[in-house]
């Protein structure tokens, strides 16, 4: 599968791009995970938005790169999401690899901290993240904090 990557700041996003991002996030985080939560948390305005598109231009995978001092002291990767149609294709791994690459280009090899859903612990460990917190509930979903140095 070929993924076309694009990274933009919030004010560079078109209305269509923003709609696609919010639609994909709602499809997975609200509907699929049955978790009503406040998605518009103010962090999008300060973040970089990494979009992965298929050969037809459809948004299939997305993450936001959150600068240091917004979510954590360190830079962070958040709202990591792939279209449910792509599960098991490697799209999520490609997204994380590209997210880390973007951070390395913009911030150097700075530490990265994430708030990860607990069931994805092994997935994030495969990228060098280690658990640094006890389990906690966020929006009724078990999470842990993890860092990569």
Q: What is the pTM of this model?
A: 0.92
Structure token pair of residue 5: 């990557």
- Per-position pLDDT tens, the chain of length 149: 789 999 999 999 999 999 999 999 999 988 888 777 778 899 999 999 999 999 999 999 999 999 999 999 999 999 999 999 988 899 999 999 999 999 999 999 889 999 999 999 999 999 999 999 999 998 888 999 999 99
Per-residue confidence (pLDDT) for residue 45, from 0 to 100: 96
> Considering only the top CATH level, what class is 4-148?
alpha beta
Per-residue confidence (pLDDT) for residue 35, from 0 to 100: 74
- Rounded to whole angstroms, the Cα distance separating 48 from 7 reads 7
Per-residue confidence (pLDDT) for residue 138, from 0 to 100: 87
Structure token pair of residue 97: 């690899």
31-134-44 Cα angle (round to 5): 45
- Domain ranges in the chain are 4-148
């Amino acid at each position: 599968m070929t993924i076309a990557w694009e990274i933009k700041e919030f004010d560079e996003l078109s209305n269509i791009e923003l709609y696609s991002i919010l639609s994909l996030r709602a499809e997975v985080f609200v509907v699929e995970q049955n978790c009503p939560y406040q998605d518009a948390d103010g962090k999008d305005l300060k973040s970089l938005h990494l979009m992965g598109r298929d050969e037809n231009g459809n948004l299939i995978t997305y993450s936001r790169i959150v600068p240091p001092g917004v979510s954590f002291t360190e830079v962070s990767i958040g709202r990591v999401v792939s279209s449910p149609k792509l599960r098991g294709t490697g799209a999520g791994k490609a997204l994380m690899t590209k997210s880390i690459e973007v951070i390395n280009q913009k911030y150097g090899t700075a530490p990265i901290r994430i708030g990860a859903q607990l069931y994805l612990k092994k997935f994030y460990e495969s990228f060098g993240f280690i658990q640094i917190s006890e389990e906690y509930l966020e929006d009724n979903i078990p999470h842990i904090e993890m860092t990569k140095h």
